[in-house]
Amino acid sequence: MSNEFLIHLTGTCALVLNVLAILRTCERRLRIQSGVAGLVWALNNLLLGAHSAAALSLVSAGRTASSAATLQGNAAQRRQAFAAFAALTLLVCALTWQGWLSAFLMTASLLSTYSMFYLRGPALRWMMLLVSMLWMFNAWTYGSWEQVAANAASAVAALYAAWRACRAGRLSIA
């Protein structure tokens, strides 16, 4: 298998996982599936040579899984997990800094970290829209059509999911 084929395969798989996760009405399942998508995005970014994005995708996968585990936990657990992942994000960004593009990734990752631990329902989906827009810069810079498509599809899915959640007034946690 060629490297180009693997890049497209991992990007397409992550795209599908990401969009399906955002459309979920169950907050826990959204986080678990987003975590799996984060692992696939990490591989995709590694294959692209986008090392900052790959490292942040791994942090994202761990953060998202941890946020699912602490979803119904107490505020102290969420605060400690948030602080640990925010610090880890800053450390990874410092170690893999690649110029101004890294600032967009750092901002997206910190916003995503906050939203995974503290937001639910429509507010979470609106924040996911903003995060998708910030990650779009990385996708465009590395010429990854899968990531461009994934961020566009994620933005549309986040808009739809936020609208649906606002309209229905309900989302489940379990």
Strand partners, 172: 26
Specify the pLDDT at position 173.
46
Average pLDDT over residues 91-112: 89
Q: Given the structure tokens 């795209």, which residue do they identify?
A: 15
Whether 173 is covered by a domain: the verdict is: no
Domain assignment of residue 10, given as a range: 3-168
> Cα angle at 157 between 8 and 105, to 5 degrees?
60
Specify the pLDDT at position 82.
94
Q: Which two tokens stand for residue 91?
A: 């450390």
31-62 pLDDT, tens digit per residue, is: 899 899 999 999 998 998 888 888 888 998 99
State the pTM of this model. 0.79
Q: Which DSSP symbol is given to 151?
A: H
Q: Which two tokens stand for residue 23?
A: 């459309």
Provide the domain count of the chain.
1
Whether 114 is covered by a domain: the verdict is: yes
Whether 38 is covered by a domain: the verdict is: yes
Q: Are 61 and 35 in contact (CB under 8 A)?
A: yes
Whether 73 is covered by a domain: the verdict is: yes
Whether 128 is covered by a domain: the verdict is: yes
